[in-house]
């Protein structure tokens, strides 16, 4: 497949989970990759996997809540590839569980990683994306559209991504497209961490609450959701902007 042949695509949160799967899916479609994550070891593993696919890649270990991280990655991508055609904001965190556990500092951290980081990334790459008539894909969550147990702050941060992304689509049109993917549960280290955070005898019940409303009652694989991001970066979605794509197994269908 070569839907992204010689296009340069940025992926945040690429050290594991959906971010890694997205970077690899882009590489298999012929893209060059610029990847970033705070997890240096995981990022190195992702870089090696991308190189094994025969793709070109630059990697930066950094904090996505800092503008300078994104401006540096932009400089690296342009230096290596000459342009930037796609930006996938995948980095995210879950945050605290029950309302009784939430502190102001935790709220700020979740909002910064899940929403502010995306805004800063877009700010850093906007000029280059205008030059290339590129595409932005922001990852939100089914939690932006429905309430999820133990995730009040997470849901708030992902709902903010929806509003921000629509505004970005309006502001950057017609040169740049901006769309959102709202996944349901994905079988990632972050999801497994959530399940592990509750007592063992409560995990099956929590999993049932998370997937029970889905028409396809299971977690997605990271690769399944990554293919949605590939589509939204590719020219196949050239007339799609300001849209929200629900990759949630039918959770929001009823």
pLDDT of residue 191: 67
pLDDT by residue, tens only, the chain of 254 residues: 799 999 999 999 999 999 999 999 999 999 999 999 999 999 999 999 999 999 999 999 999 999 999 999 999 999 999 999 999 999 999 887 788 889 999 999 999 999 999 999 999 999 999 999 999 999 999 999 998 878 899 999 999 999 999 999 999 999 999 999 999 989 877 766 666 666 777 767 766 666 778 899 888 999 999 999 999 999 999 999 999 999 999 999 98
Q: Name the token pair of 125.
A: 């790459």
Q: Supply the angle between the helices 117-132 and 152-172 in degrees, to the nearest 10.
A: 20
- Provide the annotated active-site residues: 154
Report the 10 Å Cβ neighbour count for 190. 15
Backbone angles phi, psi at 146, to 5 degrees: -140, 160
The three-state secondary structure class of 38 is: coil
* C-alpha closest to that of 215 among 184, 244, 191, 187: 184
Expressed in percent and rounded to 5, the helix, strand and coil fractions of the chain are: 55, 15, 30
Domains detected in the chain: 8-184+222-245 (3.40.50.720)
In this prediction, residue 208 carries a pLDDT of 67
**CA-CA distance, 157 to 152, in Å (whole number)?**
9
Q: What is the pTM of this model?
A: 0.94
């Amino acid at each position: 497949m070569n839907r992204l042949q010689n296009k340069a695509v940025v992926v945040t949160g690429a050290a594991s989970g959906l971010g890694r799967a997205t970077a690899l899916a882009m590489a298999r479609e012929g893209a060059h990759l610029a990847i970033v994550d705070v997890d240096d070891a995981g990022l190195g593993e992702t870089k090696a996997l991308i190189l094994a696919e025969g793709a070109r890649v630059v990697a930066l270990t950094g904090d996505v809540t800092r503008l300078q991280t994104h401006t540096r990655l932009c400089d690296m991508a342009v230096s290596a590839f000459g342009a930037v055609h796609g930006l996938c904001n995948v980095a995210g965190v879950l945050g605290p569980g029950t309302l009784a556990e939430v502190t102001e500092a935790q709220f700020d951290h979740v909002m910064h990683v899940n929403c502010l980081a995306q805004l800063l990334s877009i700010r850093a790459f906007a000029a280059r994306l205008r030059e290339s008539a590129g595409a932005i894909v922001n990852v939100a969550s089914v939690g932006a559209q429905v309430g999820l147990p133990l995730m009040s702050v997470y849901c708030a941060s992902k709902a903010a991504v929806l509003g921000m992304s629509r505004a970005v689509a309006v502001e950057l049109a017609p040169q740049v497209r901006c769309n959102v993917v709202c996944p349901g549960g994905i079988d990632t280290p972050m999801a497994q961490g959530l399940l592990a955070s509750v007592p063992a005898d409560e995990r099956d019940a929590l999993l049932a609450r998370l997937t029970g409303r889905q028409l396809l009652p299971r977690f997605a694989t990271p690769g399944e959701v990554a293919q949605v991001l590939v589509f939204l970066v590719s020219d196949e979605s050239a007339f799609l902007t300001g849209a929200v794509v629900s990759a949630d197994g039918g959770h929001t269908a009823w």
